[in-house]
Amino acid sequence: MNVRFGFPIVVFTWFVVSLVSLCSAQTGVPRVFLLDPPTLVKVRAACVADDALVRPALKRLVKDADKLLDENPVSVMEKPQFPPSGDKHDYMSLARYYWSDPKKPDGLPYISRDGETNPEINTVPDHANLARMVSAVHTLAVAYCLTGTELYAQHAAKFIRTWFLDTATRMNPNLNFAQGVKGLDAGRPSGLIDSRGLAQVVDGIGLLAGSKEWTAEDQNRMVEWFSQYLEWLLTSKNGVGESMAANNHGVFYDVQAGTIAAFVGKTDVARRIVEEAKEKRIGKQIEPDGSQPRELARTTSQGYVRFNLEAFFLLANLGANLGFDLWNYRTEDGRSIRKALDWVLPFIRGDKEWTHKQIKRFDIVEYYPLLLQASARFNDPTYTELAWKLRGAEGASDRIHLLIGK
């Protein structure tokens, strides 16, 4: 296992004893699409062997998973409002950057203030609860995969069943009412950015395979739910509209739809999405010099450039698992994912000042996991060196080390 952190490791004896009792000799390759299955197998073996190089990250993961055991599952039924359909099982959220129009007596229709989050979105909790569910499932599923602790799988299954399967609490497989704008529309194509984390849930399900807490019935019912949702993604007005988005929304749509298609056995659909992304996404969203004009045009351009790079990295991971090399794909005039990352390196290093609009503070440390992934995918240690400068020894506990094996 090629792991290099380059800093001293503190040995937590109590943790080692606990870990050895938890870990199991799980076998088999997880069926995941955004992570690299062989890498997970190697990392799992390193965890079982109590490899000092993965110990800090695993210790933090176990701590996070243990904390989640005290949290109750969430659902779409917790919102006080009824969507326009009259069915609380339908997901509902408000557009993040839309505010009451001060020039109108009733404030309607709401108007856009890009980059400025309206706290009113918190009155509809579906968005926050969806994010909580995604985070919990992913954390617990990774912890189960790497330690074999059935309690983690059990709680992850509770979160999944509550959100997707239980009759009283399940979400209907659509986002008809996502990011609605008061006085304008009940839901928009751009609302699908809310559900980008569902691709992580798919991987979480793959990580639960082999657990006695995740049954064949659970698996079949989730395939059925995601099959219905995929049909909505591919044919609904909002789904089709989002697929045509020419910025980060379009890339995250591809990640979401492609991952779900692969999960439900629609491999042809998944492969088509990835193949078309070469020109549709890389060829149109990244300039030959690596800049991303549509993200740079935003009022919080630093965050959106990184956000779209995250989406491209996920899409490239999906492609790799489907037999496509988006990581090294280049258009004839030089547009590529790597060029997009390299374009931002001078700003990460502090060699150049960011001159594009940025109305909020951006923490450059957010590039840490992307730099490590780039180092692994491009076999270039300069990315690791820059990541090391961003975080130092503190980065040893970051979960990314468990997911990429470096």
- How sure is the predictor about 352, in pLDDT bands with cuts at 50, 70 and 90? very high
- For CA atoms 258, 128, 31, 217, give the dihedral sign: negative
pLDDT digits (tens, 9 = 90+) for 101-122: 999 999 999 999 999 999 999 9
Residue 321 pLDDT: 98
Q: What is the mean pLDDT of residues 194-201?
A: 98
What does the mean pLDDT of the chain come to?
93
d(Cα 67, Cα 61) in Å, to the nearest integer? 10
pLDDT digits (tens, 9 = 90+) for 60-98: 999 999 999 999 999 999 999 999 999 999 999 999 999
The Cβ of residue 279 has, within 10 Å, a number of other Cβ atoms equal to 12
Whether residue 373 is predicted with pLDDT greater than 90 in this model: the reply is yes
- Residue with the bigger pLDDT between 15 and 56: it is 56
Tokens representing 71 are: 């949290």
pLDDT digits (tens, 9 = 90+) for 332-349: 999 999 999 999 999 999
Residue 25 pLDDT: 38
Residue 265 pLDDT: 98
Going from the C-alpha of 381 to that of each of 8, 58, 337, 389, 406, the distances in angstroms are 19, 23, 17, 13, 11
Domain 13-404 of CATH type 3.40.640.10: no
Listed as own residue / partner, the contacts of 100-105 with beta carbons closer than 8 Å and 24 or more positions apart are: 100/182
Residue 16 pLDDT: 38
Q: What is the mean pLDDT of residues 192-208?
A: 98
pLDDT digits (tens, 9 = 90+) for 288-310: 999 999 999 999 999 999 999 99
Residue 82, φ and ψ in degrees, nearest 5: -105, 135
Lowest mean pLDDT among 8-22, 161-175, 189-203, 331-345: 8-22
Whether residue 8 is predicted with pLDDT greater than 80 in this model: the reply is no
CA atoms within 13 A on the CB side of 270: 26
Tokens representing 196 are: 């980008």
- How sure is the predictor about 354, in pLDDT bands with cuts at 50, 70 and 90? very high
d(Cα 62, Cα 273) in Å, to the nearest integer? 35
- How sure is the predictor about 133, in pLDDT bands with cuts at 50, 70 and 90? very high
What are the boundaries of each domain within the chain? 13-404
- Given a contact cutoff of 8 angstroms between Cβ atoms, the answer to whether 282 and 337 are in contact is yes
pLDDT digits (tens, 9 = 90+) for 36-49: 999 999 999 999 99
- How sure is the predictor about 27, in pLDDT bands with cuts at 50, 70 and 90? low
State the pTM of this model: 0.93
Q: Would you list the DSSP string of 334-402?
A: ---HHHHHHHHHHHHHTSS---S-B-S---GGGGHHHHHHHHHHHT-HHHHHHHHHHHGGGGGG-THHH
- Given a contact cutoff of 8 angstroms between Cβ atoms, the answer to whether 337 and 326 are in contact is yes
Q: Would you list the DSSP string of 128-168?
A: HHHHHHHHHHHHHHHHHHHH--HHHHHHHHHHHIIIII-TT
Express as a percent the part of the chain with pLDDT over 70. Answer: 93
